[in-house]
Structure 1
Amino acid sequence: MNKHKRLKKSFKPTFSKFGGSLPIFSHKDAITAALAEPSSGLIICGQTGCGKTTQVPKYILEAGLSSSKMIAVTQPRRVAAVTIAQRVAHELGSSCGQTVGYSVRFDKRVSDDTKICYLTDGMLLREAILDPTLSKFGVIILDEVHERTVSTDVLMAIVKKLRETRDLKVIVMSATIDIPKISEYFGIDKVVSVKGRTYPVEIYNLKQPEGNYVDNAMISILQTHLEHPEGDILCFLTGQEDIEDLQSLLEEKIELGKHPDYNMAPLVVVPLYANLPNHLQLRAFEKCEGRKVILATNIAETSVTINGIRYIIDSGLCKMKSFQTTTGVDTLKITAISKNSATQRSGRAGREAPGKCFRLYTEEIYDEMSDSTPPEIFRTNLSRVIIQLKAMGIKDVSDFDFIDKPSKQLYINAFKELNDLRCLDADANLNELGRKMSIIPTEPVYSKLLIHSTKTEYKNISKDIVIIVAMLSVENIFYAPRNFQRKAERKHKKFFVLDSDHLTLLNVYNYYIKNKGNSGFCKENFINEKSLKKATQISNQLLGYLKTLSQKSDGTVEETKAEVINELDMIAKEADENYDRNQLITKCLYEGLPLNTYQCHENIYRSTKTHEECNIHPTSVLFNKFPTYVVCSEIIITSKKYMRFCTDISKVYVKD
C-alpha cells in the first residue's frame, strides 16, 4: 500500500483427540511437575493460540493434582468463560455443566460433578465473599491477568494470602505478562513460556500523521480490497458511532464501484459491537459472497475469533472509561491504545495464514504508546470493591495488599459514597444494609434500590424495580439501523413514558412479556432481543437474591416480602386501581437512588447535594423538557457532564 510502511477418582479423561497438536502440549509434563508440591505455583506466559486456557485445566485434572476439588479458571469476560467452557466440555465428551461448567453473573452451569469451572473473575470474587477460604477449589488458574480488571487485582491479593494458610495451587497465565513483577508478588519462581501457533503478520505504519481516522480507514479498506488477494478485513474503531459513519461511507463507494467503468469486486460491510442485536452480530462469523470487511470495536481484540481474517486496519484508538476523583463521575473518552493492544489486534490476521496489519498511525506514535493499558484499579469507583472486602472481614481496606495500590483520593471518594448510601456504621464497617448489599451482584446504588423496594409500602411494585434494574444492567434496548433510523425512532416512541426513562424501560419489558418474548415483535420494533433475554435472566437471579435476603431464621419468607417472588409474567398485569403505580415506582426510585437528584433552575440542572451542574442526556425522554426535579441512574462525562436514565420526581420530591 502506498500510504503505509471436576470427577470421580477412577475417571481418566483421554486427550488424544484434542489438543495434541497445540504448542502447550509439549510443556504438559513440565506443568504437572511444577504443581506436584503442596501450595505450589506456576506462571505460564503463553502466546495467543498456544492452547493454555483449554488444555492446562485438563492436564491438572488428568494428573489428579486438584485433590478431588474443583479447578477454577478465571476469565475477564463472560463471553470467553461461557464459550471456552462449552468447548472444553465438548473435548471431554460431556455436556456443559457436568464435568466442565461455567459461572458468570446472572448465568451458571455447574453441578455436583463439575471439576473444571470457567468463571469470570467477578464471580470467583463473589465465591470468596461467601467462603473466604475458597475451600471448594484445589487449583485456581488466573487467566488473562494482563487485562488487570479490578476483580483480578482483588483476586490476586486474596489468592496470595490463601497460599500462606492452606494447600492451594495457583497458576497465573497471560499472553503478555510482567513476569518479574508477578513472580515477586506471589513468590513464584517457576515459569513456563509457550509460543503461539500463529503465522507471520507484516506491519505497516503511516509515513506521516493524517487527519480523520475514519476517512483514513475507508481509504485503507478500499486500497486493501483493490490491491490485495482474497481474505477478509477486520477494522478496529472506537465505537458504534464511528462504525456507522464508516459503514455509510463504504456503502456509498461500493455502490459507485458497481458501475461498469469500475467493476469492483463484491465487498460486504459488517458491523460488530456490543450493543448490536445478536442476530446482527452473527453476520460477522458467517460466510458471504465476496470479501467481507468487519468494522469492530475492541470486542474483537481477544474475546472472539473470526475465521478468514487476513488483513487488519487498526485506528490505534479505543474508548476508555475512567473514574474522575475530582468530579466523582465516570468519563468515556477516546484514547490511544497500548502497545499490547496493538499486538493483539495485529495478531488477529495471523491465526490461519500469513496476514498484514495496516496501522493508521506512525511508528513515532506507536513508540509513544504505553506498554500496557493502565490497570482498572487506578481508574474506577472503589465503592463496590470496599463493600466486597468488608464482607470478607477485611477491616482496613486501605492496607489491602493490591499488586498496585489505588490512590488515596479513590478511597476517599468511595467511602463518601458508601456513607451517603448509609451502608456503613460509625466504625466504617458494614451495617445490616451494607451486609445485604454485599449479597447482590450489582453496583451499590442499585443494590440499595433493590433492598429499598422490599419495604412494605413498595411490596406491590418491588417486581417492577427488579425489572428496571435488570434493564439498566444490559446493553442498549433500542437500536436504529442506519438505513431505517426514522422508522426505528417512530417505533420506539410508542413505548415512551414521557416523564421517565425508567418507566419507559419497564414499559418495553412489559410489552415483551405480553408478546411472549416473540422475536418478530423485537425485530418489528427495532428492540434488542438479546438484551431483553438477558434482562429476563437477570430479573430471575435478582428475585432469587431478594428471596434469600427475605428469609427468616426459621427458613420462612416474611409475608410483606413474599410478593417479590411472583412469576415474571405477572409483571405485565394492569395497574392496581387503589394507587398510582407509576407514581409509587417514581417515589421508590427517588428514595432508593439518593445520590443523583438534580434541581432545574433557568434550564440549568444542579445536584441537590453538591450543586454541580449537569445536563440531561440527549437520548433521554426528558431531553429539552426541564422538569424541576429529576433522579438519574448514572452520571457520565463525554463531551459534557450528562445524566443518563432520568425520571421526573417533581411530584414526589421532598426537600431535606
Structure 2
Amino acid sequence: GDVLVFLPGERDIRDVARALRSRTSTGMDVLPLYSRLSLDQQAKVFQPHGGRRIVLATNVAETSITVPGIRYVIDPGNARISRYSARSRVQRLPIEPVSQASANQRAGRCGRVQNGICIRLYDEDDFENREPFTQPEILRSNLAGVILRMLALGLGEVSTFPFIEPPRRAMIEEGYETLHELGAINEQAQLTSVGRTLARLPIDPRLGRMLLAAMSTGALREVLVIVAGLSIHDPRERPADRLDAADRAHQMFADDASDFMALLNLWNWYHERVREGPWSAVKRACVDQFVSFIRMREWQDVHHQLRESCREIDASARTSLNAAPADFDAIHRALLAGLLSQIGRRDDRERGRYLGANATTFHIFPGSCLYRTTPRWVVGSDIIETKKRYAHGLARVRTDWIEEAAGHLVKRT
C-alpha cells in the first residue's frame, strides 16, 4: 500500500523528498502535496500507478483532499497554524502540535478501502494532553472585516455580541485600530463615509481601501487588477524539481521597483495571449511560463466581481475607470492607503532589516524584486513570520506618499 506522511510545510516536504529519492529503489514514487502546488502536480497523486507511492503532504490532506490507496499514515503530530498577532500586527505561521481532532482526521486518511495503519511519532500521554479541537479561525485572525460588517449591519457592541467562541479583547481592539487606520471609523468608533463604502465591497477592508484610494488617484483600472491578484493564490508556479527554470520564466514579469507591478505585467501578458488566441495556445503559453491557467481564470472572475462592485460605488461617487494608463506614483499611492501598518524604514545597523510599525522588524523576502536593492522606505502586502519575519509583495515608496496617506493618524501640536 501507499504511504502518506504529514509534514509542516513546503520546505520540509522538499527536504524529505530529496532525502527519500536518494535512498529509495526504483519503482517507488515520492510525490509532494500542498496547496500552492500546481494543479498538474497535485493531480499526480490521483493517477493509477503500479509500484508503491510515498505522498508527502501538509495538513491540506487532512480534510481538503482524499488521497486514494493510502494504507499507511505517518504523523509527526505538528503543523503550521496561521495566527494573527494583535500586538505586532503580523501574520504568524508557527509550527504547533495538532489537536486531537486533527490527529484523528490524519489517522482516518488510511484504510478507506482496506485496513490501514497510522504511526504517530509521539506517545499516548502527549496525545491525551493535546487540545481536543483546533482553535477556531475567529480566535486567530484579524477581525477588521468582521467588525466592519457588524457596524454596517448595526449589530451593536462587538465585545458583547454572543459569539460561539468570543475573540479576545486585544483582537477586537486591534480590529478597531485597523479600521481607524483605514479611515473607516472615527475616534468614537462610528462608521465614516469611507467605512460605509468599504462595507459594500466583498473583500478585506485593506484591499477595499486601495480601490477607494485608486478612484482618487486615477489608477482604478490598474489597482483593480492588483487587488484581484492579491485576493487569490499566486498564479506563478514553482515546481520543486524545476525551480530555476520557473524563476527564469517569471523574470519577464519582474519590475525593478515593485512586486505589485509584476502582477500587473503578468496580467497584461496573459491578456495579450488571450487576444492572440486560440485557448489551446493560451494554455500552452501558460505551461511554458510556469503560470497556472486555472488561477488566471480565477483572477479574471475576481476582477470582474470587484469591477461590478466598484461600478455600483462609482454611480454614487461619480468616478470611473481611468482611460489613460496610470503611472507608478498614482498606483502605489493608492496601494499605500490600505497598507499603512506594513511600511518599513531600512535599518542601517543591520543589512536587509527594516523597522516597521508597532516596534516590529522584518526582512525583505528573497523572492522580491527589492531583495538586493534595499531602498530606504518600502511597503509590503503581507508580513509573515515563520522562522524569520519576512515582508512579501513589496514596493519602494516615498515619504511624501506616506505623509499624504497617513495624515489622519498624525497628531500635531
What TM-score do you get using the length of structure 1 for normalisation? 0.57
Hey, what does 1:504 align to over in structure 2? 262
Any idea what the Cα deviations from partners look like across 1:40-83, whole Å, max 9, x if unmatched?
Answer: xxxxxxxxxxxxxxxxxxxxxxxxxxxxxxxxxxxxxxxxxxxx
Task: Give me the whole-angstrom Cα distance separating, in 2, the residues matched to 1:529 and 1:285.
Answer: 20
Kindly report the root-mean-square deviation, in angstroms, between the aligned alpha carbons of the 2 structures: 2.1
Task: Give me the whole-angstrom Cα distance separating, in 1, the residues matched to 2:7 and 2:338.
Answer: 38
Aligned partner of 1:519: which letter?
Answer: K
Is the alpha carbon distance of 1:415 and 1:649 closer, same or farther for their aligned partners in structure 2, counting shifts above 3 Å?
same
Superposition map of 1:379-394 within 5 A:
379-394=140-155
Aligned partner of 2:16: which letter?
Answer: L
Is the alpha carbon distance of 1:595 and 1:400 closer, same or farther for their aligned partners in structure 2, counting shifts above 3 Å?
same
- Which fold has the larger relative contact order, with Cα–Cα distance below 8 Å and residues 6 or more apart in sequence? 2
Q: Report deviation, 1:584.
A: 2.3
Which deviates more, 426-435 or 354-363? 426-435
Q: Report deviation, 1:592.
A: 4.3
Hey, what does 1:647 align to over in structure 2? 395
**Structure 1 residue 584 and structure 2 residue 308: aligned?**
no
- Out of 517, 522, 543, the position equivalent to 2:286 is 522
Hey, what does 2:411 align to over in structure 1? none
Superposition map of 1:580-619 within 5 A:
581-602=327-348, 603=351, 604-607=353-356, 610-619=358-367
Superposition map of 1:77-226 within 5 A:
none
Hey, what does 2:128 align to over in structure 1? 367
Is the alpha carbon distance of 1:490 and 1:395 closer, same or farther for their aligned partners in structure 2, counting shifts above 3 Å?
same
Aligned partner of 1:375: which letter?
Answer: P
CA contact (8 A) 1:268 1:293 kept: yes
**Structure 1 residue 249 and structure 2 residue 19: aligned?**
yes
Any idea what the Cα deviations from partners look like across 1:104-140, whole Å, max 9, x if unmatched?
Answer: xxxxxxxxxxxxxxxxxxxxxxxxxxxxxxxxxxxxx
Any idea what the Cα deviations from partners look like across 1:526-551, whole Å, max 9, x if unmatched?
Answer: 22333222211111111111112223
SS at match of 1:646: strand
SS at match of 1:391: helix
**Structure 1 residue 474 and structure 2 residue 232: aligned?**
yes
Bigger-Rg structure (1/2): 1
- Out of 358, 364, 374, the position equivalent to 1:626 is 374
Aligned partner of 1:584: which letter?
Answer: A
Task: Give me the whole-angstrom Cα distance separating, in 2, the residues matched to 1:508 and 1:492.
Answer: 9
- Out of 172, 177, 188, the position equivalent to 1:427 is 188
Q: Report deviation, 1:499.
A: 0.7
Q: Report deviation, 1:274.
A: 0.7
Hey, what does 2:198 align to over in structure 1? 437
- Out of 287, 300, 306, the position equivalent to 1:542 is 306
- Out of 271, 291, 295, the position equivalent to 2:52 is 291
CA contact (8 A) 2:7 2:76 kept: yes
What TM-score do you get using the length of structure 2 for normalisation? 0.89
Is the alpha carbon distance of 1:582 and 1:637 closer, same or farther for their aligned partners in structure 2, counting shifts above 3 Å?
same
CA contact (8 A) 1:277 1:530 kept: no
Task: Give me the whole-angstrom Cα distance separating, in 1, the residues matched to 2:163 and 2:140.
Answer: 14
Task: Give me the whole-angstrom Cα distance separating, in 2, the residues matched to 1:640 and 1:306.
Answer: 32
Is the alpha carbon distance of 1:529 and 1:651 closer, same or farther for their aligned partners in structure 2, counting shifts above 3 Å?
farther
SS at match of 2:383: strand
CA contact (8 A) 1:276 1:528 kept: no
Task: Give me the whole-angstrom Cα distance separating, in 2, the residues matched to 1:531 and 1:601.
Answer: 37
Superposition map of 1:282-361 within 5 A:
282-361=43-122
SS at match of 2:83: strand
Q: Report deviation, 1:322.
A: 0.8
Q: How many residues align?
A: 395
Task: Give me the whole-angstrom Cα distance separating, in 2, the residues matched to 1:270 and 1:601.
Answer: 41
Hey, what does 1:76 align to over in structure 2? none
Is the alpha carbon distance of 1:591 and 1:325 closer, same or farther for their aligned partners in structure 2, counting shifts above 3 Å?
closer
SS at match of 1:439: coil
Task: Give me the whole-angstrom Cα distance separating, in 2, the residues matched to 1:654 and 1:234.
Answer: 49
Aligned partner of 1:236: which letter?
Answer: F
Percent identity between the two aligned chains: 30
Any idea what the Cα deviations from partners look like across 1:5-54, whole Å, max 9, x if unmatched?
Answer: xxxxxxxxxxxxxxxxxxxxxxxxxxxxxxxxxxxxxxxxxxxxxxxxxx
Structure 2 gap segments, 5+ residues each: 408-413
CA contact (8 A) 1:395 1:429 kept: no
**Structure 1 residue 399 and structure 2 residue 160: aligned?**
yes
Q: Report deviation, 1:651.
A: 8.0
SS at match of 1:384: helix
CA contact (8 A) 1:522 1:528 kept: yes
CA contact (8 A) 2:184 2:191 kept: yes
Task: Give me the whole-angstrom Cα distance separating, in 1, the residues matched to 2:268 and 2:122.
Answer: 48
Task: Give me the whole-angstrom Cα distance separating, in 1, the residues matched to 2:399 and 2:145.
Answer: 31
CA contact (8 A) 1:382 1:411 kept: yes
Task: Give me the whole-angstrom Cα distance separating, in 2, the residues matched to 1:605 and 1:653.
Answer: 18
SS at match of 1:348: coil
Is the alpha carbon distance of 1:642 and 1:290 closer, same or farther for their aligned partners in structure 2, counting shifts above 3 Å?
same
